[in-house]
């Protein structure tokens, strides 16, 4: 396979896109398990379509541009997991083509070919959750655009005013996925160390970064929701850990080969230094800075899953391409790549389709939407789920702003505070749920603090499930 992609032509480009589509084709025929984050994104898009304002009427830590994309997805397709995977594949295809285009047009490698794009496409399939339209995938697109602009600056003797675009792209990446803000440090260091940027040009890049963010802050200020924006987005990045992923075996299995190939690529550079000119060496150093920045962002991840590590894919593919192109014996290179390719597909398809029964590797079981006790009786109702597992929303609609439990604690774990009780009461009055699924055992205390609210609900035969009085009786 490597030998076929060692040439750069239209046929190879079409073949690369066809290969990516072919790898993802089983997901279109047999959808993989729906994940809690995917359901959460669908709920946010649905709530936005209903006229609610993110952070004020929807308490969630999702970044604003990602929420905008999910709103558009809901307008076009509703709650369609298939649409999310098709859109994710389209975004991935753009990244593959753009990454390979940049590396070839800027002569980052000694030879022009499609091997960097091939490896990028393979690493994008390290787990089935990487194929969905995640905020990290969307954010990485703009980080790649920033990388392309930065490399263009390095080709010249001095930086130009186009450095504004570098900051601007990183700002958009931040508005898709907040931890991407760390990459402004990557850009500043790269401009400082590897270009002749002046103080004015550094200021331009920082202004490009600040401009979209300030516009977003202004929007929420005009909507009188700046405090909600600060609490639910800006402050949440340091404290919200939304899901508890215990499937570390899947995480390690998915990341092992990309990390190993990337590391071998870095090591291979030490025995190939004479092959690279000064520009290529600076590109390698910039990608090392990218790797360090991506590593720092791990501490800010809201949960751990392979899809959260997509921002590592450009740097891992970048260095892995050096490794495979540096192997002198073509047969050995083909054998190693074939082994990596087959093992990656094994993890991918075992996770998505579970070819081997009762083997949980790759399944991300902790993140899957699970059957709920109310699924058979309560459907298409407005409900409120108090807890991390939002699976009951799968066949129902969300009521009240309390979508994210880590943020809902701000009110519902603080019921000894009069203002919190009033806030909860007002939210219930504006958008009352027909059913409440209380996994955190806070509702009884709420009903004690707000008897008028407690009078509207009654217990059902299922523990922790409350029904609004006057609703059609259902056997729950």
pLDDT at 184 (0 to 100) = 96
Residue 55, Ramachandran bin (φ over 0: left; ψ between -120 and 50: alpha; else beta) = left
User: What integer pLDDT is reported at residue 279 of this predicted model?
Assistant: 87
Tracing tokens 């259902």 back to the chain, one arrives at 474
Q: Give pLDDT tens digits along the chain (476 positions).
A: 888 888 888 899 999 999 999 999 998 888 899 999 999 999 999 999 999 999 999 999 999 999 999 999 999 999 999 999 999 999 999 999 999 999 999 889 988 899 999 999 999 999 999 999 999 999 999 999 999 999 988 776 555 668 899 999 999 999 999 999 999 999 999 988 887 778 888 899 999 999 999 999 999 999 999 999 999 998 888 765 655 555 688 888 899 999 999 999 999 888 776 678 888 889 999 999 999 999 999 989 888 899 999 999 999 999 999 999 888 888 999 999 999 999 999 999 998 888 787 787 888 888 999 998 888 888 999 999 999 889 999 999 999 999 999 899 999 999 999 999 999 999 999 999 999 999 999 999 999 999 999 999 999 989 899 999 875 444 44
Contacts of 44 (CB under 8 A, 6+ apart): 54, 58, 60, 62, 67, 70, 71, 403
pLDDT at 473: 45
Q: Write down the pTM of the prediction.
A: 0.94
Q: Which residues does 23 contact at the CB level (< 8 Å), separation at least 6? A: 121, 125, 345, 348
Cβ(205)–Cβ(246) under 8 Å? no
**107 contacts: CB under 8 Å, gap ≥ 6:** 279, 280
> What pLDDT was estimated at residue 329?
87
Distance, CA of 222 to CA of 320 (rounded, Å): 48
| Cβ atoms of 141 and 124 closer than 8 Å | no
Q: What is the pLDDT of residue 397?
A: 95
Chain centre distance of CA 179: 10
Q: Half-sphere exposure of 331 toward its Cβ, with a 13 Å CA cutoff? A: 0
Q: What is the pLDDT of residue 377?
A: 86
Distance (Å, rounded) from C-alpha 314 to C-alpha 334?
Answer: 22
Task: Tell me the per-residue pLDDT of 288-341, one tens digit each, with 9 for 90 and over.
Answer: 999 999 999 998 988 889 999 999 999 999 999 999 988 888 899 999 999 999
Q: What's the pLDDT score for residue 447?
A: 94
Tell me the sheet residues that pair with 435: 383, 467
Instruction: Give 90-99 pLDDT, tens digit per residue.
Output: 999 999 999 9
What is the predicted pLDDT for the residue at 193? 87
CA distance 149 to 455: 61
d(CA 408, CA 442): 11
């Amino acid at each position: 396979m490597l030998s076929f992609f060692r040439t750069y032509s239209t046929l190879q480009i079409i073949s690369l896109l066809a290969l990516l589509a072919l790898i993802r084709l089983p997901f279109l025929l047999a959808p993989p398990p729906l994940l809690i984050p995917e359901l959460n994104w669908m709920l946010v898009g649905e709530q936005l379509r209903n006229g609610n304002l993110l952070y004020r009427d929807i308490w969630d830590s999702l970044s604003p541009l990602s929420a905008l994309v999910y709103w558009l997805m809901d307008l076009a397709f509703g709650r369609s997991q298939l649409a999310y995977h098709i859109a994710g594949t389209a975004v991935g295809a753009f990244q593959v083509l753009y990454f390979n285009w940049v590396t070839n047009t800027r002569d980052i490698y000694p030879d022009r070919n499609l091997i960097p794009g091939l490896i990028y496409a393979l690493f994008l399939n390290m787990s089935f959750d990487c194929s969905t339209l995640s905020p990290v995938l969307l954010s990485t697109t703009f980080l790649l655009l920033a990388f392309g602009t930065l490399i263009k600056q390095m080709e010249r003797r001095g930086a130009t005013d186009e450095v504004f675009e570098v900051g601007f792209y990183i700002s958009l990446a931040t508005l898709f996925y907040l931890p991407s803000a760390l990459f402004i440090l990557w850009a500043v260091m790269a401009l400082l160390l590897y270009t002749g940027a002046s103080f004015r040009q550094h200021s331009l890049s920082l202004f490009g970064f600040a401009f979209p963010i300030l516009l977003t802050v202004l929007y929420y200020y005009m909507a009188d929701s700046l405090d909600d924006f600060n609490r639910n987005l800006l402050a949440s990045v340091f404290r919200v850990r939304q899901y508890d992923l215990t499937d570390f075996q899947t995480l390690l299995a998915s990341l092992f080969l990309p990390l190993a190939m990337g590391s071998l690529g870095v090591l291979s550079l030490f025995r190939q230094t004479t092959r690279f000119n000064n520009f290529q060496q600076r590109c390698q150093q910039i990608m090392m800075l990218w790797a360090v920045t991506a590593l720092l962002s791990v501490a800010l991840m809201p949960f751990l899953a392979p899809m959260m590590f997509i921002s590592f894919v450009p740097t891992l593919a970048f260095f892995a391409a050096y490794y495979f192109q540096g192997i002198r014996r073509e047969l050995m290179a083909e054998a190693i790549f074939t082994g990596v390719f087959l093992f990656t597909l094994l993890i991918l398809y075992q996770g998505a389709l579970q070819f081997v029964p009762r083997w949980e590797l790759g399944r991300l079981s902790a993140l899957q939407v699970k059957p709920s006790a109310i699924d058979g009786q309560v459907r298409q109702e407005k409900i409120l789920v108090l807890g991390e597992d939002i699976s009951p929303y799968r066949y129902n609609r969300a009521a009240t702003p309390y979508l994210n439990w880590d943020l809902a604690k701000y009110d519902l774990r603080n019921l000894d505070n009069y203002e919190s009780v009033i806030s909860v009461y007002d939210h219930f009055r504006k958008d009352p749920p027909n059913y409440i699924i209380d996994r955190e055992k806070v509702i009884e205390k709420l009903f004690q603090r707000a008897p008028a609210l407690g009078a509207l609900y009654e217990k059902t035969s299922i523990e922790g499930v409350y029904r609004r009085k006057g609703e059609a009786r259902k056997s729950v």
